[in-house]
Amino acid sequence: MAKILLIEDDPFLSSLLKNRFEKQGFIITQAKNGDDAIKLLKSGDIPDLILLDLILPGKSGFEVLKIIKTDPQVARLPVLVISNLGQESDVQKGKELGAVDYVVKSRVPIDFLVDRAKEILKKSGE
């Protein structure tokens, strides 16, 4: 099954998402901040999809997204932004930086995120 890198600093939500995705057969690697996520990606632990929160300690999710999309080794990876930043300007910025989609996590059930991830992976051929 597909491998997902979950970049989320909220331990409760991270655990909830990890459990729900694993029940669907996904392999989940977690990073609690942007620096850890970048280290994982540079170590060669390449996922099929990245779920990225924007409000993170250290590097913001926007900074992480910029780094991902400018690194030839991982730039092709689909990134689904999951954030509580719901302003249109935030959504637009996320998509301009290369996110395939932007979901305001407080407005959708977790099953929606799982289904959206499946759709993105299907489109990307995973």
Tally of domains in the chain: 1
Model pLDDT, residue 90 = 95
Tokens 């890198």 map to which residue?
5
- What span, in angstroms and rounded, lies between the C-alpha atoms of 45 and 42? 7
Q: What is the CATH number of the domain that holds 21?
A: 3.40.50.2300
32-47 pLDDT tens trace: 999 999 999 999 889 9
pLDDT of residue 125: 77
> Which of the residues in the chain have pLDDT under 70?
126
Neighbour-count burial for 113-124, b at 16+ CB within 10 Å, e otherwise: bbebbbebbeee
- Strand pairing report for 3-7 and 49-52: parallel
Half-sphere exposure of 27 (CA within 13 A, CB side): 8
User: What range defines the domain where residue 74 resides?
Assistant: 3-124
Report d(CA 33, CA 10) in Å as an integer: 10
Predicted confidence at residue 126, as pLDDT, reads 60
Q: Can you name the residues that pair with 101 across neighbouring β-strands?
A: 80
